[in-house]
Structures are given as C-alpha cells and as structure tokens.
Amino acid sequence: MKATRKGMLLVISGPSGTGKGTLIDKLLKDDPSFVFSVSVTTRKPRDYEVQDVHYHFISDEEYDKLLAEDAFIEHATVHANRYGTLKSEVYERMEKGQNVLLDIDPQGARTVVEKEKECVSVFILPPSYKVLKERLHTRNTEDPVEIARRLGNAKGEIEQLQRYQYAVVNDSLDLAYEQLLSIVNAEKQRTNRYFPVVEEE
Ligand code: 5GP
C-alpha cells in the first residue's frame, strides 16, 4: 500500500572512541533517507574536518549571537567546547519527510528527548573501558590532555545510558551496524510515522 512518512529524529550518543562516527557515516552512506544535522561548535577543526560538512565551526561571539536568537534546539558545553543543534538543520527537513540524524552528547540528548517525544535515541557503548582507552590513543586525533579529559568524561556519559531507548555495543563493527540498522528499520515502520494512502483504484 502506498504511504507517506513523517521524518524520524534519530539521536545517537556515545563516548569519544566508541566508533560512533564510523557507524553514523555508514548509515548516512547506505540510507539516503537520512540527513545529518551539522552542529555548530566553537572547537577548532581537526585536520581532516571540513567547514559546514562536519561542523559549522564558529567563534564564541557567533555562538552567543545564535543563543540570543534562540536558534538552537539544544546546546551544551562538552569537553570544554561549546556545541549546539540548529533548529534550521532539523525541523524543515522532518516536515519534508526526511529522517534527521543528530550526533550529540548526553546533555543535549536529554533536552531533545524531552522536547521531541517521538525521537529515537541510541547509545553506542565500547566493549570495555580498556578498549575505549586504546582506541582513543590509536586514533590520534587528540593530544594527551584532551584524551585524558575525554576518558574522564566517558564514565559520566555511560551513566546516562538509561535515558536512551536503545544500546548498541560496538565490539565488532559489522554486528554493531547490523543492530543499528535493525533499530532504524523497525522504527521506520512505527504507525506514528507511517501513513497509508487508501486509494480507490
Ligand atoms: P567531537 O569534538 O569529538 O566532534 O565531539 C565531542 C562530543 O560533542 C561528542 O560526544 C558529540 O556527540 C558531541 N556533539 C557534537 N555536536 C553536538 C551538538 O550539537 N550538541 C551536543 N550537545 N553535543 C554535540
């Protein structure tokens, strides 16, 4: 039966080094119904990061201006930098039926889950704290101070797990991705997002 669909808001969180980014990139590549909500941040770009693709990298002044304009759905200070989800990245697209993916921290996820009751929330866990530590050291994107900060914050982030609907442990990437796809595909079929069109021949 023909149907129209309402866009899904998919919130994904997980400590730095869980492989969350790889899972997200794969989902966005494989499923064109998803668009990524590009956040704003006051963090400095990493070498490989592209302005307006990975983030809208902005100054503290620009961030303050967006706050004053009430441009954010949620915003938070994470690992000593400021991040925010722009309303303009989310609502219009959902109205058009697109699924929107947010990669945000547990503070931001808490706000979104409260505001958007129909959102789907997934927390990506590392197989162990030891593996998380190893991954953060080998990926080599942060300096030792930043790695220590991110590892310290990981414990607090994992304690927020119960606020999420789903947990995926990223031990094997293939298995974790399969689990993420199962969640997403089941959620797409929820009756609150799926509207059949009854046509008379
Ligand atoms: P990174 O600096 O490694 O790109 O991201 C650090 C953390 O900030 C990650 O947990 C990521 O999910 C989170 N983050 C990225 N964008 C946003 C956002 O717009 N809002 C919030 N609350 N967290 C974000």
Residue 134 lies in a domain: yes
Predicted local distance difference test score (pLDDT) of residue 3 = 79
Q: What is the CATH number of the domain that holds 29?
A: 3.40.50.300
User: What 3-state DSSP class applies to 91?
Assistant: helix
The yes-or-no verdict on residue 201 having pLDDT over 80 is no
Ligand 1 center–CA 84 separation, angstroms: 8
Strand pairing class (56-57; 72-78)? unpaired
Q: Running DSSP on this structure, what letter comes out for residue 81?
A: E
Residue 200 lies in a domain: no
Residue with tokens 């309402």: 6
What is the tens place of the pLDDT at every residue in 175-193?
A: 999 999 999 999 998 998 8
Residue 149 lies in a domain: yes
Which residue has its alpha carbon closest to ligand 1 atom 17? 104
H-helix or E-strand spanning residue 3: strand 3-5
Q: Running DSSP on this structure, what letter comes out for residue 86?
A: E
What is the tens place of the pLDDT at every residue in 114-148?
A: 999 999 999 999 999 999 999 988 887 888 998 99
Higher pLDDT, 159 or 5: 159
Sign, Cα dihedral of 165, 171, 173, 179: negative
Predicted local distance difference test score (pLDDT) of residue 108 = 97
Residue 152 lies in a domain: yes
Instruction: Quote the percentage of the chain above a pLDDT of 90.
Output: 83
Sign, Cα dihedral of 88, 92, 94, 97: negative
Predicted local distance difference test score (pLDDT) of residue 24 = 98
Ligand 1 center–CA 104 separation, angstroms: 5
Which residue has its alpha carbon closest to ligand 1 atom 16? 104
Residue 201 lies in a domain: no
Residue 41 lies in a domain: yes
Domain count, the chain: 1
Verdict on whether the full-model pTM lies above 0.85? yes
Residue 199 lies in a domain: no
Ligand 1 center–CA 105 separation, angstroms: 5
Which residue has its alpha carbon closest to ligand 1 atom 11? 104
Sign, Cα dihedral of 131, 104, 139, 32: positive
Predicted local distance difference test score (pLDDT) of residue 42 = 98
- Give yes or no for a contact between 106 and 11, defined as CB atoms under 8 angstroms apart: no
Domain coverage including residue 143: 2-194
The yes-or-no verdict on residue 102 having pLDDT over 80 is yes
User: Which residue from 36, 44, 66, 78 has its CB within 8 A of the most atoms of ligand 1, so it is best to mutate?
Assistant: 78
The yes-or-no verdict on residue 5 having pLDDT over 90 is no
Residue 124 lies in a domain: yes
CA–CA distance, 98 with 177 (Å, rounded to integer): 21
